[in-house]
Every structure is written in structure tokens, then in C-alpha cells.
Amino acid sequence: MARTRVVLNFPAALVEKPVTYHLVRDFGLVVNILRAEIRPGEAGTLLFELDDRDGQGDLQGGLEFVAREGVRIQTISGRITIDQDACLDCGACIGPCFAGALALDPTSYKLLFDDTRCVLCKVCVEACPAGAIKVAF
């Protein structure tokens, strides 16, 4: 795994800890913060893209370090739900998804979601006429 996207949930006490600095210096990772919501003194949420530069960095070690620090790690898929019964497979969510995470399967025309592209921006939540998409961030 060379690249991954994770959501980090910081408890209030850890919000001011320089986690990014350690991931870069100690684990050799390229860290791209795609989305962040941190209010000092309160809990915070960060969407990170971590890249181990083709094995030069230690991705597994970095994630274990973050977990040891008390930060809860979630996948993108854990943050977004698409209710398959409610979904009409209409496609109204796809155009506004500038991240390119949503598409229709070219054969079945069912909605596909690619969690490696999602930035949890929530534009799809508003765009879905069926109210089928929920995003927590």
C-alpha cells in the first residue's frame, strides 16, 4: 500500500499535538491534508492522504503511532453511507462530485463509489434527490 486516505478523530486533549510533523519526520510520509476541522479545546477531524513514497516511508508504523497517541483512525468508507434501497441510480450526485469519486457502472448503470478519491466534501449529500447519501465529518 503506497497511498491511503484516512480520517483521524482527535480527542480534545490531542488537538494541539503536532501529529503531522511526526508523520513526516519520523515515518518519512508525504502528508496531504485534504480536509480539516479542528477547534482548539474541542475534538477535531482531519482527512489525511498518506503516501509512503514507494516504500521509502513507513505507512504502517505511522498509522500505529497515530493510534498509540490516542487518535481514532477511520476509513473514508466508514464516514459515508449510501442507502442502496433509497438510491435511484439516477446519477445526480456524479456531476457535482468534483473529486471524481462517484460514477455509474458502464454496464449495469449502478452507482459506484471510489473511496480513494472522496474528500468528504458533502456536495453529494445535497445533490442526491433521494436523500440516500449521508456523510459524517
Partner 1 sequence: MAVHRTYEEINDKIKSGKVVVVTAEEMVAMGMRDGAAAAAKKVDVVTTATFGPMCSSGAFLNFGHTEPPIRMTRVWLNDVPAYAGIAAVDCYIGATEESETQGQRYGGAHVLQDLVEGRTIRLRATSPGTDCYPRRSHETEVTLAGLRDATLFNPRNCYQNYGAAANTTDSVLYTYMGTLLPRLGNVSYSTSGQLSPMLKDPTYRTIGIGTRVYLGGGEGYVAWEGTQHNPEQERSAGGVPVGGAGTLALIGDLKTMKPGYLRAATFHRYGVTLYVAIGVAIPVLDEDVAAAAARPETELYTAILDYGVPSRNRPALRRVSYAELRSGSVDIDGTEVRTSPVSSYRMARRIAAELKDMIAAGGFSLTRPVRPLRGAATGTGDVPGLAAAAAPGGAI
Which residues make up the interface to partner 1 (CB under 8 A)?
88-96, 98, 100, 103-104, 108-110, 123, 126-127, 129-131
Q: Output the nine-digit C-alpha cell for 95.
A: 456531476
CA-closest candidate to residue 136, choices 80, 86, 93, 98? 80
Provide the minimum distance between the beta carbon of 47 and partner 1 in the complex, in angstroms, as a whole number: 20
Nearer to partner 1, 30 or 87 (CB): 87
Provide the minimum distance between the beta carbon of 83 and partner 1 in the complex, in angstroms, as a whole number: 13
- Which residue is it, cell 462530485? 97
Nearer to partner 1, 46 or 118 (CB): 118
DSSP label at 94? T
Provide the minimum distance between the beta carbon of 113 and partner 1 in the complex, in angstroms, as a whole number: 14
Distance of CA 69 to the CA centre of its chain: 19
DSSP label at 131? -
Provide the minimum distance between the beta carbon of 87 and partner 1 in the complex, in angstroms, as a whole number: 9
Nearer to partner 1, 13 or 88 (CB): 88
Could you tell me the strand order of the sheet in which 72-75 lies?
30-38, 44-51, 3-10, 72-75
Nearer to partner 1, 63 or 101 (CB): 101
